[in-house]
Structure 1
Amino acid sequence: MKKQLILEDGTVLIGEGFGSETAVWGEVVFNTGMTGYQEILSDPSYCGQIVTLTYPLIGNYGINRDDFESISPAVNGLIVKENAEFPSNWRSELTLDDYLKMKNIPGLAGVDTRKLTKIIRQHGTLKGMICGMEENPQEIIASMKGKELPTDQVKQVSTRTPYPSPGRGNRVVLVDFGMKHGILRELNDRNCDVIVVPYNTTAEEILSLSPDGIMLSNGPGDPKDVPEAIEMIRNIIGKVPMFGICLGHQLFALACGADTEKMKFGHRGSNHPVKDLRTGKVALTSQNHGYTVQENSVAGTELEVTHIALNDGTIEGLSHKNAAAFTVQYHPEASPGPEDANGLFDQFMEMVEAEKKEAVINAKA
Structure 2
Amino acid sequence: MRARLILEDGTECVGTAFGATTESVGEVVFNTGLTGYQEVLSDPSYCGQIVTMTYPLIGNYGINRDDFEAVRPYIHGFVVREHCDTPSNWRSAGTLDELLKAYDIPGIAGVDTRMLTRKIRYHGTMKGMITTSEAPLSELLDSLRRAPLMNDQVARVSTKSVFSCPGTGHRVVLVDFGAKHGILRELTKRNCDVVVVPHNVTAAEIRRLHPDGILLSNGPGDPKDVPQAIETIREILGEYPLFGICLGHQLFALASGADTVKMKFGHRGGNHPVKELATGRTYITSQNHSYAVKAESIPGTGLEITHVALNDGTVEGLRNLEKRAFSVQYHPEAAPGPYDTGYLFDQFLEIMDTAKEERAHAKAR
Where on the TM-score scale, by shorter chain, does this alignment land: which range? over 0.9
Deviation per residue, 1:68-115 (Å, 9 max, x gap):
000121101100000111111100010111111112111000000000
Query: 1:17-166 residue pairs with structure 2 within 5 A?
Result: 17-166=17-166
**Structure 2: which amino acid aligns with 1:130?**
I
**Structure 1: which amino acid aligns with 2:313?**
G
**Structure 1: which amino acid aligns with 2:79?**
I
Instruction: Give me the whole-angstrom Cα distance separating, in 1, the residues matched to 2:73 and 2:88.
Output: 23
Instruction: Give me the whole-angstrom Cα distance separating, in 2, the residues matched to 1:137 and 1:74.
Output: 27
**Structure 1: which amino acid aligns with 2:149?**
L
Instruction: Give me the whole-angstrom Cα distance separating, in 1, the residues matched to 2:295 and 2:141.
Output: 35
Q: Which residue of 2 aligns with 1:258?
A: 258
Q: Give the superposed CA RMSD.
A: 0.7
Deviation at 1:144, TM superposition (A): 2.3
Instruction: Give me the whole-angstrom Cα distance separating, in 1, the residues matched to 2:77 and 2:148.
Output: 18
Contact 2:217 / 2:248 at 8 angstroms: preserved in 1? yes
Deviation at 1:341, TM superposition (A): 0.2
Deviation per residue, 1:227-260 (Å, 9 max, x gap):
0000010011110000000000000000000000
Query: 1:179-328 residue pairs with structure 2 within 5 A?
Result: 179-328=179-328
Deviation per residue, 1:135-162 (Å, 9 max, x gap):
2221222222223311100000000000
**Structure 2: which amino acid aligns with 1:322?**
E
Instruction: Give me the whole-angstrom Cα distance separating, in 1, the residues matched to 2:265 and 2:135.
Output: 27
Instruction: Give me the whole-angstrom Cα distance separating, in 1, the residues matched to 2:198 and 2:216.
Output: 11
Deviation per residue, 1:272-300 (Å, 9 max, x gap):
00000011000000000000000100011
Deviation at 1:44, TM superposition (A): 0.2
SS at match of 2:87: coil
Deviation per residue, 1:146-187 (Å, 9 max, x gap):
233111000000000000111111000000000000000000
Instruction: Give me the whole-angstrom Cα distance separating, in 1, the residues matched to 2:364 and 2:115.
Output: 66
SS at match of 1:235: helix
Contact 2:172 / 2:213 at 8 angstroms: preserved in 1? yes
Instruction: Give me the whole-angstrom Cα distance separating, in 2, the residues matched to 1:146 and 1:85.
Output: 34
**Structure 1: which amino acid aligns with 2:171?**
R
Instruction: Give me the whole-angstrom Cα distance separating, in 2, the residues matched to 1:133 and 1:196.
Output: 42
Matched, 1:356 2:360: no
1:270–1:147 distance in 2 versus 1, CA, 3 Å: same
Instruction: Give me the whole-angstrom Cα distance separating, in 1, the residues matched to 2:42 and 2:133.
Output: 28
How many residues align? The count is 365
Instruction: Give me the whole-angstrom Cα distance separating, in 1, the residues matched to 2:233 and 2:357.
Output: 23
Instruction: Give me the whole-angstrom Cα distance separating, in 1, the residues matched to 2:326 and 2:164.
Output: 24
Instruction: Give me the whole-angstrom Cα distance separating, in 2, the residues matched to 1:177 and 1:32.
Output: 24
Deviation at 1:362, TM superposition (A): 1.4
Instruction: Give me the whole-angstrom Cα distance separating, in 2, the residues matched to 1:52 and 1:301.
Output: 37
Contact 2:25 / 2:147 at 8 angstroms: preserved in 1? no
Instruction: Give me the whole-angstrom Cα distance separating, in 2, the residues matched to 1:251 and 1:147.
Output: 28
Contact 2:70 / 2:180 at 8 angstroms: preserved in 1? yes
SS at match of 2:191: coil
Instruction: Give me the whole-angstrom Cα distance separating, in 1, the residues matched to 2:62 and 2:144.
Output: 33
Percent identity (aligned): 64
Deviation at 1:314, TM superposition (A): 0.1
Most deviating of 6-15 and 141-150:
141-150
Q: Which residue of 2 aligns with 1:171?
A: 171
**Structure 2: which amino acid aligns with 1:132?**
T
Deviation at 1:322, TM superposition (A): 1.4
Where do 5+ consecutive residues of structure 1 fail to align?
none
Q: What stretches of structure 1 move > 4 A for 4+ residues in a row?
A: none
TM-score, normalised relative to structure 2? 0.99
Deviation per residue, 1:180-206 (Å, 9 max, x gap):
000000000000000000000001100
Instruction: Give me the whole-angstrom Cα distance separating, in 2, the residues matched to 1:314 and 1:150.
Output: 26
Instruction: Give me the whole-angstrom Cα distance separating, in 2, the residues matched to 1:160 and 1:118.
Output: 39
Where do 5+ consecutive residues of structure 2 fail to align?
none
TM-score, normalised relative to structure 1? 0.99
**Structure 1: which amino acid aligns with 2:303?**
L
